Amino acid sequence: MVVSAETEGKMMTGKKPIYPIEEWTVTEEVFDRKTNYRNETTFSLSNGYIGTRGTFEEAYDFDVDTGLEGNFVNGFYESEKIRYGEANFGSPMYSQSLLNLPNLKETKLYIDGEEFHMERGQVTEYARILHMKEGFLERGLVWTSPSGKAVRIRTQRLVSFVMEHIMAARYEVTPLNFTGKVRFVSKLQADVENHTRKTNPIVDYGPFGRKLDVERLEQDGQTLYYEGTTQTSRLTAACGSSHRLYVQEISGMAEGGETACGVKEQRAGETETACGMQAGELEAVCVLETEAARGERVVLDKMICYATSLDRSRETLECFVRSELEKAEETGFEALKRQQEEYLGRFWETADIAIAGAGGSALVQGLRFNQFHIFQSAGRNSRTGMGAKGLSGEGYEGHYFWDTEMYVLPMFVYTEPETAQKLLDYRYHTLDQARARARVLGHEKGALFPWRTINGEEASTYYPLGTAQYHINADIAYALSLYLQVTGDREYLKEKGAELLAETARIWADVGSFAECRGGRYCICCVTGPDEYNVLVDNNFYTNLMAREHLRDAAAALRWLIKEEPAAYERLKEKTGFAEQELDLWDEIVEKMYFPYEEKRGIYPMDDGFLMRKPWDEERIPAEKRAWLYENYHPLFIMRHRMSKQADAVLGLYLHSHLFTREEIQRNYDFYKEVTLHHSSLSTCIFGIVACGIGYVEEAYKYFMQSARMDLDDYHNNFYAGIHAANMAGTWQAVVNGFGGMRCQEGVLRFAPVLPQAWKSYSFKVKYQGNLLGVTVTSEKSVFSLLKCGGVEKKISFTVYGEQVELEEGGKYEISKV
């Protein structure tokens, strides 16, 4: 299949790599204020609880266009009363914004009184490196001060996966041509506010100004401590830092670095500590100073801790923060770093993807960058989800969307199911808010999840693009069903899954009707599908399809519960008022669901009105406005045209591909390819996956090239605001579900690998029902190896190009490419 010039024009063209191509690292070779904002996202670190942007210890005075100091705790938000011009009943009255918390990374360095600043004096040998295998950030450089004093500087930072509340930093300074004073001024800066860009009212709503009221600000020896409460959401954040300064003797100042040979002495120098909490004072500082000579290295180890009233009672916060800091100090920076590497090592052992062939290294770097950010952004404590921007920036106010369930969760289901479960737990945990929301929308039973949220309540201020996306219910159910199939976790189904499936399914049974004018078929009106350029439509194909499959899965789950776990079923009935007759209605809807269909082309239009809309004429739109329609055109202008922002029907055809013939998928794909603008980062990866399944392998490859390095090379020019988590995880799906042709549907695991011409081979691993399966695809063959056999059955069954395969411990299956 040849890609037409027109289609190709619609795909965004790849940019030149921003950073050098390296397999396990991302390196910034020069510091430049102009690219700082974007690079802060590249170098952001997180552990799913704390998130911190890749800002510098020097705390530069960047403005709203050049940088953002950002420190976040997943789930910690501030609200503001939303002022609407014309609010409707049910509009959320309070916003939720991931709140920027006090900054404790700031550590200013003075060499004999001269302040280290990368824009003064001279910087050489600069490199800032993200170590994706080991999970830390490093910066190295030599700085010659304006007066000619030269120091080698190395900073390292990590956000610990093992100690959820801890961020650790090491600052090393080696005098190269002088003996003098090295002074660190470490700060707890509580004068922080969100940056939230004011340019896009649809996606960003405040909060503007400082929102945490300081309640405690203390210095105690070399420990700084803070507590503050938000003005409206009334949540308390606590944080603190502890310091240890020492001097090491360096043996050998040879090129390429020095070797430390033990600690010569450990002294705090003339440590001064100062702090202020008088009116207007919002910072506490700890000053550490020592004398250092050539041949010595000064090291400052700093531990930082965040905790909030969402995790524990307010009264225990201080004690907790101080004891976590002590524990972190006892563990020490080196040990924290080792633990980090081990933790990440376990993830990479399963999740890493190998690609050999043209551009292999660049693609592998892009994939690892994506997976690293996904891995570090997912909430893991059952109370938090994962933002569309992870914890890497303030974009989308830190909200969780369907991006988690449809894009991110599948990757975790197959690589780290424990994390997938925690993300599902978050939805379960907010089921009550979803129940309340359903009532607001007029549903007497069931639960309707919010389109965007942090605390479980709807935070979308614009219902046509928000609450109307009812498909979120089915998306969550889809992710849950996938988790259950792939892990075989019946306990989860019994304890939480059945309730989640049932409560969300009930909405479908209430939202539509068996319409006479459609031959008694079940129609769902006035919803928005995934495509945000076609809103408040009737019978969105994706929504109807996902709703039907949701009802099917929910009915099966409840029938299983009734039969196998009657006591659990009784509890569910009691809690939700569920009646068995509801299942009959669900069955009827499953049987009679309506789908828009056009006979002539044999396609499923996106919704009832799609084919009536005016054909889109790109020529009318000035080039600079093309990718920014909502910023430049009234929504009505956009919505009246026959075009699409992102994968919508095509996504449904991927997720439930077993229900359609290949020809059917091909016809629809051909149609949607012509009308889809890919203005959302969630689109190209899905088109690529579907293209693989219908044999358009080279076209799939082009789509893949649009998504694999999308963030690393900043194709959308908005990486400064945070990662595009959905696309990042979508690239994992593009390899495994796309090229590998993997699906898990109706309890069957299937593969149908294809290989793009540019590649010699690729390989990946997936976890399936306690087993670890390795897949390698070359131009000659595909090899499937059971690497670990952990399931109850002690074997794994799957199909390859429709052939049934069964492997036992150590088993291998090879098939020549067909």
Rounded Cα distance between 115 and 379, Å, is 38
Task: Give me the least distance between CB of 729 and ligand BGC, in Å please.
Answer: 11
Does 728 bind ligand BGC (CB under 6 A)? Our answer is no
Among 204, 403, 503, 607, binds ligand BGC (CB under 6 A): 403
Rounded Cα distance between 161 and 339, Å, is 8
Among 401, 578, 616, 696, binds ligand BGC (CB under 6 A): 401
Instruction: Rank residues 301 and 405 by Cβ distance to ligand BGC and give the closer one.
Output: 405
Rounded Cα distance between 331 and 160, Å, is 12
Task: Give me the least distance between CB of 92 and ligand BGC, in Å please.
Answer: 17
Which of 15, 17, 53, 16 lies closest to 36, judged by CA? 53
Task: Give me the least distance between CB of 127 and ligand BGC, in Å please.
Answer: 32
3-state secondary structure of 433: helix
Does 386 bind ligand BGC (CB under 6 A)? Our answer is no
Mask for 526-545, x = binds ligand BGC (CB under 6 A): ----x-x-------------
CA atoms within 13 A on the CB side of 538: 13
Sorted by sequence, the CB contacts under 8 Å of residue 66 that are 6+ apart come out as: 33, 34, 36, 37
Helices then strands, each counted (H, E), the chain: 22, 33
Task: Give me the least distance between CB of 389 and ligand BGC, in Å please.
Answer: 8
Site for ligand BGC in 99-158 (CB under 6 A): none
**How many chain residues bind ligand BGC (CB under 6 A)?**
11
Among 118, 424, 682, 755, binds ligand BGC (CB under 6 A): 682
Of 278-286, 364-372, 397-405, 740-748, the window that binds ligand BGC (rule: CB under 6 A) is 397-405
- Residue 268 has a CB neighbour count (10 Å cut-off) of 16
Task: Give me the least distance between CB of 724 and ligand BGC, in Å please.
Answer: 7
Task: Give me the least distance between CB of 451 and ligand BGC, in Å please.
Answer: 8
Does 388 bind ligand BGC (CB under 6 A)? Our answer is yes
Any idea which residue has 């603190």 for tokens? 240
Which of 750, 746, 815, 817 lies closest to 779, judged by CA? 817
- Residue 206 has a CB neighbour count (10 Å cut-off) of 17
Of 92-100, 399-407, 556-564, 803-811, the window that binds ligand BGC (rule: CB under 6 A) is 399-407
| Conformational region of residue 392, where left means phi above 0, alpha means psi within -120 to 50, and beta covers everything else | alpha
- Residue 556 has a CB neighbour count (10 Å cut-off) of 13
Q: What are the C-alpha distances in Å from 624 to residues 375, 575, 627, 628, 636?
A: 34, 54, 7, 8, 20
Does 646 bind ligand BGC (CB under 6 A)? Our answer is yes
Does 726 bind ligand BGC (CB under 6 A)? Our answer is yes
Sorted by sequence, the CB contacts under 8 Å of residue 246 that are 6+ apart come out as: 263, 265, 266, 267, 298, 299
Of 219-227, 398-406, 414-422, 488-496, the window that binds ligand BGC (rule: CB under 6 A) is 398-406
Alpha helices in 211-313 (DSSP H): none
What is the bridge-based pairing of β-strands 77-78 and 97-98?
A: antiparallel
Rounded Cα distance between 348 and 145, Å, is 41
Task: Give me the least distance between CB of 385 and ligand BGC, in Å please.
Answer: 13
Among 544, 644, 676, 680, binds ligand BGC (CB under 6 A): 680
Q: List beta partners, residue 185.
A: 108, 287
Of 239-247, 400-408, 738-746, 794-802, the window that binds ligand BGC (rule: CB under 6 A) is 400-408
Instruction: Rank residues 45 and 651 by Cβ distance to ligand BGC and give the closer one.
Output: 651
Which of 748, 514, 804, 545 lies closest to 664, judged by CA? 545
Task: Give me the least distance between CB of 204 and ligand BGC, in Å please.
Answer: 12
Does 648 bind ligand BGC (CB under 6 A)? Our answer is no
Does 629 bind ligand BGC (CB under 6 A)? Our answer is no
Any idea which residue has 């055809």 for tokens? 653
Instruction: Rank residues 245 and 406 by Cβ distance to ligand BGC and give the closer one.
Output: 406
Instruction: Rank residues 496 and 642 by Cβ distance to ligand BGC and give the closer one.
Output: 642
Of 159-167, 252-260, 396-404, 438-446, the window that binds ligand BGC (rule: CB under 6 A) is 396-404
Does 397 bind ligand BGC (CB under 6 A)? Our answer is no
Does 463 bind ligand BGC (CB under 6 A)? Our answer is no
Among 77, 375, 402, 610, binds ligand BGC (CB under 6 A): 402
Rounded Cα distance between 378 and 402, Å, is 14
Q: List beta partners, residue 515.
A: 521
Task: Give me the least distance between CB of 682 and ligand BGC, in Å please.
Answer: 5
Instruction: Report the largest interatomic distance among the alpha carbons of the chain, rounded to a whole angstrom.
Output: 90
Any idea which residue has 């190395």 for tokens? 154
Which residues are identified as catalytic? 532
Site for ligand BGC, rule CB under 6 A:
388, 396, 401-403, 530, 532, 646, 680, 682, 726
